[in-house]
Chains A and B, each alone.
Chain A
Amino acid sequence: MNRDSGAFSNAGPDAAALRNCKASPVGGGIELRKTICAICNPLSHCGIDAYVRDGVVIKVEGSDNPHNGGTLCAKGAASRQYIYHKDRLRTPLLRTGEKGSGEFWPISWEEALDIAAQRLNSIKEESGAESVAFFAGYPKWMRPFLKRLAHSFGSPNYCTESSTCSTAAFLAAKLNYGCFGRPDLGNAKCLLVWSANPFYSNTSMVRRLLDARDRGLKIIEVGPLVTPLTRHADVHLRIRPGTSGALALGMANVIIEEELYDRDFVENWTLGFDDFKKYAGNFSLERTEAITGVPAHLTRQAARLYAKTRPAALQTSASPTVHHTNGVQNHRALTALIGLTGNFDVRGGNYVRPPAYLYVPGPPSTREHEYEQSRPWSEMAPRMGVERFPVWSRVIAEAQAMHLPFQIQTETPYPIRSVVGFGLNHRMWPGCDFMYESLKKLDFFLQVELFMTDTCKAADLILPACTSFERSELKFYPEKFVIWTTPVIEPLGDSRPDATIIFDLARRIAPEDALLTRGYEANVDWILEPTGLTVEKLKQHPGGLSLKDIPQVPFRKYEKSGFPTPSGKMEFASTVLREFGLDPLPAYKEPELGPVGRPELLKDFPLILTTGARLPMFVHSRTFRLPWTNGLRPEPMLDINPEDAANRDIAQGDTVRLSTPRNSIEVKANITQIVSRGVINIYHGYRDPEINTLFEPDYLDPISGFPGFKSLLCKVEKSI
């Protein structure tokens, strides 16, 4: 029986049938209510059908909407344990003990909001609004409101978890093209997947990827790890971590030498091709093999396959290619392949669709970014880190959060005395112990969180947030589908939606912003204005609204309006980088703490550590505490190749010591061929051991400020 056939449908069963849908305890009164899962990234956020009885969620399953088609991943399927976890914060908490002691006293919301307002307003008066930094972690749904609050308060220092995720890739693409397009998977004939594992990071797309594969899609996979995609790939280029740029230049050289590039596009729509061609000429197949470890014949095969199979799309990921000290330039090199082969903004290539809302491509378009920037940069102090990361500050409308602990410590050029954090996790920072100590140095650290995390323990005041099941939010999907959710259950305890907290704070710390004082739904309506949608209208479609009448965005928009770059062209040589005295070409540099960058360290640290690749049951630190997901992988193991393990007398499950020049941790060994010889892989975000203590806090890409999480010299020894 086909799962899409009528007999067993994805549609909700009738009420009588539902009575027996849960094994125990059997009882009536179950209601199916629609919401979304917001545990992972905005490109997923699958629709959820919550089975609710007596105000309690007793089961979840995926909504049968155009996005996730009834499916979920392991994380979303575990939603119940996420909502009802014992660590959920249920009331505002005021610190009573020493910072870090974890001693708090419950207080009322009124008291908590008044304390917050009094502290923030007095710090603003004493040291300027810029000495308060606002931070948005996961999920991203509160971002537009928080950014507006920060700027209306007067602080330029709004920063996010995207200071380590995705933004550097966007920055690189923006330097090249002024905009970026995601793969048009439905029409592509070839997909070049560069260090992405959609099976574990973007689960809602994989059924379509496999369907496309069944239709004959060619797949090229690049990346240091073997993934579930590898068996589907026509060719897998297994690079040494950190060498994407060299591989991309090697591929570009093949494409140029064999005249497989799009001559018309390159002549009419690009800047700096001759210099790029000359530079790529340095990356012969032999040299590329020496740098990347990829056999020359495979690089040539991949370059030919990608350039000759039209149309071809490039699938990148949020972080792996940019978590390197040369990340932006590496990512520029590999995204340059799109234009070189004429696959930019074409059907089946990388198709530019302006964002609708919260990183999801439209149409339609909203006024999200206009909304956020309630005060121009010129009317605020310079953002923190602007001198250290000038390119970031030019292109990205946020502060670079990696600089936060440094400015807290140095108080230069002005002090940061307070942080208002929404889901701030100090373990996201390289040298996370340094970040934790910096947070403890603050005069006032306000943390809004779901759970009592370790970061919360450094806070002066904690406000309890609630999950997507307990709030209303606006969600656009790339499949021209939109939903305004309504709470499927009441917030747990005294917890409140992040947006409610922001608007309550706004009335106290930014009262002159008239729009903010009008509350959440009025603000969403303002953002939605160009779409013709309103919250009221969306409320009439509790299961979501299809927007298929909206016209398709045209292809090759640059033919009409040029590229949104300084030159109006695709820039092989970046005008912005040149202006800041940086190499305008996507120049390859070795990872700073790598085998070529620091050969003198090789004797003591002969292996390369790469961290942060996804596992299917975790996303960052968000589902570690759930028995259902944690039980699928209870041990934080490092992956080591069988040969490396044998050379160190390490057996499966042995406790080993993993060391870098900065620190050393103990962890169990998992012997596997998903890593090649010489490479160690470990998942990030565990409470113990703390992987990010292995990195110096300033191990950053100088252009983007992104940490070099994916390439660092290390050693592994068997623990005694």
Chain B
Amino acid sequence: MQLAFAFDLARCSGCMACVVACLDEKDLPDAAHAFRHVIGFENPGTAPPTLSFFSLSCLHCADAPCVTVCPAGSLQKRDLDGIVTFNRDLCMGCRSCESACPFGAPRFPEKDTMAKCDFCLERIEARQQPACVRVCPTRALRFGPVDELTEETARKASLNILEVFG
């Protein structure tokens, strides 16, 4: 099984509640160190322009480059659910993961020790949603096994298409 986040671009309003929920859950000192980021864009080509927001954290990639490059074996991919975990004690602060990650997920709240989204492992194990998913006021963020998320997205898209025909 692969757990994943699903993000509905059409519903995100850029409110950044997910960022703050992450800070609160992970006891991080300030916004610069959050494991989740919200980036806003002004869409050209519409008049007036419209706004889009993207909420991004570690995507727990199927083939995670950070795991491959980590020389210390700090980063591991769990067989159980595909979560990319990390072990702070093994991290030697070489920042290879930072260079390898295409999404800017590895963070360094303590100077030379990597930290990142662990899918709120403790919450998952307590059958709770990750903090960012729980808090999301527009329900733009969801999570679950990737197959189920895909299925749900397809169902929603089908309903939208059916509506067009009436």
Q: Please list the residues of chain A having a beta carbon within 8 angstroms of any beta carbon in chain B.
A: 1-3, 7-10, 13, 17-18, 20-24, 59-62, 68, 70-74, 76-78, 80, 199-200, 203-204, 206-207, 210, 214, 216, 226-228, 230-231, 236, 238, 616-617, 627-632, 672-674, 676
Q: 20 A–B contact pairs at CB < 8 A?
A: A2-B152, A9-B128, A17-B126, A18-B126, A20-B126, A22-B25, A62-B135, A71-B17, A74-B20, A77-B17, A199-B138, A203-B137, A216-B163, A228-B51, A231-B51, A627-B31, A632-B16, A632-B19, A672-B42, A673-B48
**B21 close to A (CB within 8 Å):** yes
Q: Is B50 an interface residue (CB 8 A)?
A: yes
Q: A18-B126, A616-B17 are in contact. List 19 more A-B contacts (CB 8 A).
A: A3-B139, A8-B129, A17-B127, A20-B126, A22-B27, A24-B27, A71-B134, A71-B135, A77-B21, A77-B135, A204-B137, A226-B49, A230-B50, A231-B50, A616-B13, A616-B16, A628-B20, A628-B24, A632-B20
The distance in angstroms between the C-alpha atoms of A630 and B142, with both chains bound, is 26
Interface contact A20-B122, CB-CB below 8 Å: yes
B53 interface hit (Cβ, 8 Å): yes
Q: By the criterion CB–CB under 8 Å, are B48 and A59 in contact?
A: no
B86: shortest Cβ distance to chain A, in Å?
12
Partner of B48, one of A17, A72, A676: A676
| Contact in complex: B17, A74 (CB < 8 Å) | yes
Question: Quick one: CB contact mask for B11-39 with A, threshold 8 Å, 1 for yes?
Answer: 10111110111011111011110000000
Q: Which of B10, B27, B43, B137 has the most chain A CB atoms inside 10 A of its CB?
A: B137
| In the A-B complex, the 8 residue pairs with the closest CB atoms | A631-B31, A1-B144, A17-B126, A199-B13, A231-B50, A228-B13, A77-B20, A627-B30
Asked whether A226 and B17 contact (CB < 8 A) given A3-B139, A631-B30, the answer is: no
Report A-chain residues with C-beta under 8 Å of the C-beta of B126. 13, 17-18, 20-21
Within 8 Å by CB of A8, from B13, B122, B127, lies: B127
Tell whether, in the assembled complex, residue A77 and residue B125 are in contact, meaning their CB atoms are under 8 Å apart. Answer: no
B81 to chain A, nearest CB (A): 11
Q: How close is A95's CB to chain B, nearest CB, in angstroms? A: 33
Flag if A23 contacts B25 (CB, 8 Å): yes
Report if B114 contacts A (CB, 8 A): no
**B32 CB to closest chain A CB, in angstroms?**
6
Question: How far, in angstroms, from A18 to B29 measured CA to CA in the complex?
Answer: 23
| Interface flag for B136 (CB, 8 Å) | yes
Contact B128 A21 (CB under 8 A): yes
A10 to B127, CA, bound (A): 9
Contact B24 A226 (CB under 8 A): no
For residue B52, CB closer than 8 A to chain A, the reply is yes
A8 contacts B128, C-beta separation under 8 Å: yes
Q: Is A628 within 8 A of B51, CB to CB?
A: no
Within 8 A of A (CB), among B108-166: 122-129, 131, 133-139, 142-145, 148-149, 152, 160, 163
Instruction: Check B24–A80 contact: CB distance below 8 A.
Output: yes
Report B-chain residues with C-beta under 8 Å of the C-beta of A9. 127-128
Contacts of A23 in B (CB 8 A): 25-27, 122
CA distance A497 to B135 in the complex (A): 28
The distance from the CB of A84 to the nearest CB of chain B, in whole angstroms, is 12
B interface with A by C-beta (< 8 Å): 10-11, 13-17, 19-21, 23-27, 29-32, 42-43, 48-53, 122-129, 131, 133-139, 142-145, 148-149, 152, 160, 163
Least CB distance, A196 to chain B, in whole angstroms: 13
Distance of A24 from chain B, by nearest CB (Å): 7
> Once the chains are docked, how many angstroms separate the CA of A519 from the CA of B30?
41
Q: What A residues does B134 contact at CB under 8 A?
A: 3, 10, 61-62, 70-71
Q: How many whole Å from B62's CB to the nearest CB in chain A?
A: 18
Q: How far is the CB of B53 from chain A (nearest CB, A)?
A: 7
Complex interface: chain B residues within 8 A of A3 (CB): 129, 133-134, 139, 142-143
Give which listed residue, A22, A62, A210, A673, contacts B49 with CB less than 8 A.
Answer: A673
Known A20-B122, A22-B122; contact A230-B51, beta-carbon cutoff 8 A: yes
Report the nearest A residue to B120, measured CB to CB.
A23
Q: Helix, strand, loop or mixed for chain A's interface? A: loop
B17 contacts A73, CB within 8 Å? yes
Q: Of all chain B residues, which has the CB nearest A673?
A: B49
Distance in angstroms from A346 CB to nearest chain B CB is: 25
Partner of B131, one of A61, A230, A231, A673: A61
Give the contacting residue for A72; candidates B53, B135, B160; CB below 8 A: B135
Docked complex Cα distance between A10 and B14 (Å): 23
A628 with B31, Cβ < 8 A, contacts A1-B148, A72-B17, A199-B15 known: yes
Residue of B nearest to A642 (CB): B42
Residues of B within 8 A of A24 (CB): 27
Residue of B nearest to A18 (CB): B126
Please tell me if the beta carbons of A631 and B32 are within 8 angstroms of each other in the complex. Answer: yes
A200 in contact with B13 (CB, 8 Å): yes
Residues of B near A200 (CB, < 8 A) are: 13, 15
Q: Name the CB-closest residue of A to B21.
A: A77
Residue pair A73, B123 in contact (C-beta under 8 Å): no
Distance in Å from the Cβ of A298 to the closest Cβ of chain B? 11
Residues in A with CB closer than 8 Å to B15 are 73-74, 199-200, 203, 616
In the complex, chain A residues whose CB is within 8 Å of the CB of B136: 71
Asked whether A210 and B20 contact (CB < 8 A) given A226-B51, A627-B31, the answer is no
A236 with B48, Cβ < 8 A, contacts A2-B144, A20-B126, A616-B16 known: yes
Whether the pair A238, B20 counts as a contact (CB closer than 8 A) is no
- From known contacts A204-B137, A207-B137, infer whether A59 and B24 are also in contact, taking CB-CB under 8 Å: yes
**Closest chain A CB from B80 CB (angstroms):** 15
Residues from chain A with Cβ under 8 Å of B52 in the complex: 231
Chain A residues near B149 (CB, 8 Å)? 1
Contact call A74/B127, Cβ cutoff below 8 A: no
State in angstroms the CA–CA spacing of A71 and B20 once bound together.
Answer: 12
Least distance between B4 CB and chain A CB atoms (Å): 10
Q: What residues on B are CB-neighbors of A632 within 8 Å?
A: 16, 19-20, 31
**A9–B160 alpha-carbon span in the complex (Å):** 27
Give chain B residues whose Cβ lies under 8 Å from the Cβ of A628.
20, 23-24, 30-31
- Report the Cα distance A153→B23, complex, angstroms: 46
Residues of B within 8 A of A207 (CB): 137-139
- Which residue on A lies nearest to B25, using beta carbons? A59
Bound-state Cα–Cα, A68 to B138, Å: 11
Q: B51 to A616, Cβ gap below 8 A?
A: no
In the complex, which of the residues B24, B125, B139, B144 has the most CB atoms of chain A within 10 Å of its own CB atom?
Answer: B24
> In the complex, A199→B40 CA distance in Å?
14
- With a CB–CB cut-off of 8 A, which chain A residues contact B139? 3, 71, 207, 210
Alpha-carbon distance A8/B149, docked complex (angstroms): 14
* A210 neighbours in B (Cβ, 8 Å): 11, 138-139
Docked complex Cα distance between A203 and B51 (Å): 17
The distance in angstroms between the C-alpha atoms of A7 and B133, with both chains bound, is 14
B125 cross-chain contacts in A, Cβ below 8 A = 17, 20
Q: Which A residues touch B42, using CB under 8 A?
A: 226, 672-674
In angstroms, Cα B160 to Cα A216, docked, is 10
- Judge whether B144 and A238 touch: CB under 8 Å: no
**Is there contact, CB below 8 Å, between B19 and A74?**
yes
A3–B11 alpha-carbon span in the complex (Å): 15
- Compute how far the CA of A68 lies from the CA of B20 in the bound complex, rounded to whole angstroms: 17
Give min CB distance, B61 to chain A, whole Å. Answer: 19
How far does the alpha carbon of A61 sit from the alpha carbon of B18 in the complex, in Å? 11
The residues of B that contact A616 with a CB separation of less than 8 Å are: 13-17
